Structure 1
């Protein structure tokens, strides 16, 4: 009886380790891809604010978006993210403010300020894009390296043709970001439909 429990525990631990290595491998590979073709819309995913100031992770996303949008002047951008309990404004509003202050025409910016998860970021962004056009569109999702894989597959689940542009991860959150993302991917694979 004791041996059966031991075998079950070893099996569970082995399955966890195998899934962790496989998923982290995919996350790392996708985060290295910088396939930034000309697209119809950019979707920039929100991240934490300190009051109304972008966190280092969000600042990296915004820098990547700014660079892309300057080079691709006809592309519109959806900034997406709701308001956390310790944030004074929705993330999307802070993102819009940053882009406008850095030379992006406010008429190119679509604000989605309800989302509280990556799944909702994609769902609500798609709804706003569909209000603008009923044609199939391509999107470029901008988020930090560790988040590209999940963001792209959730965009694809929403029926969008999605590419990714990874932004750097601040060194202070590098390890925790990759570990947390493993569990977020597993959750999204199972629940986010």
Structure 2
């Protein structure tokens, strides 16, 4: 019996589609543009888009393989996607479980972590943090506070300056407010705050910090603080803006993964 000649158009006899590769290119380009030009508040979208680009590219390659190999690649791809969904569901549960106030010992310094500042002043999430911090500071007038946050590309001023002004307007004495205005992410918030306090004579091995942020943020804060050898308690601020709260819980997923791997 004459062996069937392999088609030049692929093992299936049909010309392999280029649609998955075009979609992968579009998604990768979108991820790059978001990372370069979009404000930090929604830049987290870039990572899922890049992951989808890889999935599309692998799927396209599977269509160009021999039928058996291509089917095996697609089965593995589906398994990886299913495992990823389970992983992120579990991680979201961990983030939600960590969205709590956790007080241990007697804090010596309060630290408020920055968030978006608009032309009109601190955005909703940052106002929530500041209101929570201001209430605590009024109850503990002996404590200083570090406001930590630099200036993003779309922000009119540094987050630290906006936070200082907000707290001062709520009756917190200016001499109690110390600004750390160089950081651009949570890792830098903690490391730069540590450097600022060391510059003021604090021995960080013996200094207990109370870190104030919205609940969704605190799992990552605790993880990084432990990694950097910081002794902290956490004070969970509410997230009164519902759309911002939902968005923050979603974008915190890749942020935790990124911080775990790279910070």
Please give the range of the TM-score, normalised by the shorter of the 2 chains: over 0.9
Return the structure number with greater strand share: 1
- Report the counterpart of residue 261 of structure 2 in structure 1: 190
Radius of gyration: which is bigger? 2
Moved more, 132-141 or 73-82: 132-141
Q: Deviations over 1:26-75 (max 9, x none)?
A: 110110x2224530111111111112600011000000100111112222
CA RMSD, Structure 1 to Structure 2 (Å): 1.4
Q: Moved runs in structure 1, 4+ residues, more than 6 A?
A: none
Partner of residue 142 from structure 2, selected from 64, 68, 74: 74
Question: 2:232 aligned with 1:165, yes or no?
Answer: no
Residues paired across the two proteins, number: 191
Partner of residue 123 from structure 1, selected from 184, 191, 195: 191
Which consecutive residues of structure 1, in runs of 5 or more, have no partner in the other structure?
none
Partner of residue 247 from structure 2, selected from 152, 176, 183: 176
Partner of residue 113 from structure 2, selected from 39, 45, 51: 45
The 3 A distance-change label for structure 1 pair 103 and 36 is farther
Q: Deviations over 1:70-129 (max 9, x none)?
A: 112222211000011222210100101111111111121110000011110011001111
The question of whether the paired residues in 2 share the 8 Å contact of 1:126 and 1:158 is answered with no
Find the aligned partners of 2:207 and 2:83 in 1 and give their Cα distance. 38
Which consecutive residues of structure 2, in runs of 5 or more, have no partner in the other structure?
1-68
Higher relative contact order (CA 8 A, sep 6+): 1
TM-score (norm 2): 0.69
Report how far residue 6 of structure 1 moved: 2.4
